[in-house]
Structure 1
């Protein structure tokens, strides 16, 4: 069963570019992790939002201890305004099934 995650990080105002660069650097490595179906970065006003979909809970667990994530948080940890907010979500399918849920 796929697992959807939304991870939000707020950069300190002086660190937005550095945080963006670190996130972009991590993406290529994460895309190559087993079970990664979606790992997409979005930004608004210094807030970075990753929308993720993993093949299953095991793939997400592996991702959470992967080198790319360790390097990312090692780089951005002191540059964030507060702790990252990471939520695992369950789909609530409604309307057109093709548009009402993420798909691998």
Structure 2
């Protein structure tokens, strides 16, 4: 399974907009065929941590190509203090309760 963890640091004046936008992406991602998980966390007032899991890299790439994701990515310079930290990995073991 293909996993992505992203850390986004919003400009203080855009933090609530960033949260609302990502919440919308969560809702849209639920309908993606290969999406298994998309979890949004907020750390402090301006930092967001996202955990995503897909059946394979093809599904993850399709997610990033979706207009609701690419449109958000195009606004990073306006909304974030710096480029997000994004890590890609392959899940090897784990569990969900």
Normalised TM-score (structure 2) = 0.86
Partner residue, 2:58: 58
Question: Matches of 1:102 and 1:77 in 2, distance apart?
Answer: 36
* Equivalent residues of 2:2, 2:89 under 8 A apart: yes
Larger Rg: 1
Matching of residues 60-75 of structure 1 within 5 Å: 60-75=60-75
Change (3 A) 1:91 1:33: closer
**Unaligned regions of 5+ residues in structure 1, if any?**
94-100
Partner residue, 2:5: 6
Partner residue, 2:19: 20
Deviating 4+ runs (over 6 angstroms): none
The number of aligned residues is 95
Superposition CA RMSD, Å: 1.7
After superposition, the C-alpha distances for 1:41-67 in whole angstroms (9 at most, x for unaligned) are: 001121111101000011011111111
Asked if residue 32 in structure 1 is aligned to residue 31 in structure 2, the reply is yes
Normalised TM-score (structure 1) = 0.81
Asked if residue 88 in structure 1 is aligned to residue 95 in structure 2, the reply is no
- Residue 76 of structure 1: CA displacement? 4.5
